[in-house]
Structure 1
Amino acid sequence: MTVLKVKRLFDGEQWLNHQQVTIENGKIQDITPIDYPQLATQLIDILAPGFIDVHVNGGGDVLFNHTPTLDALKVIVKNHAQFGTVAMMPTLISDDYDVMSQAHDAVCEALQQGLAGIIGLHYEGPYLNPIRKGVHNEDKLRMPNEEKLFKILDVANHGKLMVTLAPEQVPDGFIEKLVKQHAIVCIGHSAATYDEAIRAVHCGARGFTHLFNAMTPLTSREPGVVGAALQNQYKTWCGLIADGHHVHPATMNIAMQAKGCEHIMLVTDAIQSVGSSKSELPFLGQKIHRKNGKVTTADGTLAGSDLDMASAVRNTIQLIKRTPQEAFQMASLRPAQFLGLDHQLGRIKVGYQASLVALNQDYYVTQTWIDGHPMLEPKTH
């Protein structure tokens, strides 16, 4: 049994002062007020639901594409746990089917073994539009081969499965087939028109990958993928990379006002630089450079991000001027709802998983618990 004493607790929906949280067998057993808070010692400044990252490519010098193995997943989880991430969708950038198959097998093994922190798999591609490929290798982009693809979709039988695609690059009926296989389909790296994007939503797509980046913009006569994403009459979610490099803070704030924070998820799109001290790293056959919180190819193309979830939360509060409550929800409850896991994660409630993050008053992580197990202490600040 573990007992945490907290000055301020955000339970996913509201703030509570001076609370005691009891953890047993990986779950929250009890939450009660502290009777005499003035006498309590070793109080945690802030306790919040742990962060959920649905888009993470690597960490700790490990890129999942380079090493699609169970050991790699363990390294990635450990490095992101320093920054409050308690659950993640390891993401495979567009690659050959044999690499996709290896990634599938590694994630299935992790899920079957109950590897804490891994909740599924995100294929970012390879069914993307070369016009909006970003850093993806154009040689890996292709039309679907359903016979090969459907062999590596049964990860959905063990955990969550996401597929990011460009709807204009796949045949009619393909999105519906993925949805029937319990895949969560997201639109990204797309040159689709507004009408094409909305049609994909009607076919079952319910997410937009890294909003504004690698998609057709909102303009006066053609709303594009961005315009479809910001429509709030559809139950869709938008991932947002809040690092200050991918999207201007004012643009992020406009998106939150238009869409509503309840359908925005903070994501990192992190590569192996998170948790690493290196300034130059290999990346899908080329070198990338890390400087001032940004990772780019030699020609300046953004190559994922150097972002962690705790920094995304701080940026949302400090750069975008949203409330801490909104920032925490976009980092935890909203992705939990998007994944259909909000009965287990995203809140601090009795019976929920004890996957939590402790922070100081400046919103730097001081400890993380995944299923009740404390993770390594983060770097000091």
Structure 2
Amino acid sequence: MIDIPLTADLVRGALELERTERGLVPHRLPARARAQNSDPRLAMAEAQPAGVRLRFRTRADVVELETLPTKQVYAGAPPRPDGVYDLLVDGELTAQASVAGGNTLTVDMATGAASHAAGAPGAVRFAGLGGHLKDVELWLPHNELTELIALRADAPVEAVPGDRRVWLHHGSSISHGSNAASPATTWPALAATAAGVDLINLGFSGNALLDPFTARALRDTPADLISVKLGINVVNADLMRLRAFGPAVHGFLDTIREGHPSAPLLVVSPILCPIHEQTPGPGDFDHDALAAGEVRFRATGDPAERAAGKLTLEVIRDELARITAERADPNLHYLDGLELYGEADFAEFPLPDALHPDAAAHRRIAERFTEHAFGGPFA
């Protein structure tokens, strides 16, 4: 086996690589943005490498990646499965594996308190790939912080030329990949593979909140195609009211346009989520379900508060449609999230925790997005 240097040209989908004593931690927000963030949930989300993968060309029959994962455990909830590593060969999902052990972050969902326990690194090994020349993509777990320690193969590897269009996407936990089966089967990853584009996924669980530092990260990242999926986190965080939402969206789009004045820019409103369609936030865990060992969410707001400017998903969709129409930007487009997942889809693929789509729904959303976006403004 040959030790392969973990260089930046082998890593796709990260905005920055942090050098550690052991190796590299991929980040999906740059250091400047991380320095302006005070929310530990966003700090954890941006360091989970959703959409980040190693991509290289090789004749290797065996590839091995050593990492130090950080597992997230919710006190009182069923154990979460280990993060999955997806191996794609010439664009086809070929094998999957997980790293056991690693660090453990235990979170008390009732209080938000967290404790950390150190663990040992582990490795995934993929063999029987064949001695022919091939493009290999090794997708890192989308929901597990992953420190890259060593890459080994039984033949040399080389970086793949960056000859694909770059699609830069921002969204919530649904874009991050919550409840998807694996990193290459989150809906953005499936859509990117189907369209043959290079994905940079800035989907942050619980944190698509119109933060200016996120807008600047989007502005400063080279990209050919840009999409922003906005709304659900603003509602379930009960972050702002209608008066603030419109100007915040305008400011977010203005910042992106400073760096990408003419790139196709697609604004996507929320998919169907019945608990928040007409009921404002804040969202909360269903504590009765938690007591039974099940994770579910609920809306705690009062529908009557809409009159005072509280936001619901129905209000958000109307506002985003209005804002995109009024900006008079020929390269700005709007996609109603109900076109991706609506009433009929909910009947077929209900949201298992009342908030996030399951693996089958991720595939449905990917198919619809590919059709509407890559068959439309991104064509």
Q: Settle same-fold status: TM greater than 0.5.
A: no
Q: Which has the higher contact order (CA 8 A, sep 6+)?
A: 1
Taking structure 2 as the reference length, the TM-score comes to 0.29
Taking structure 1 as the reference length, the TM-score comes to 0.29
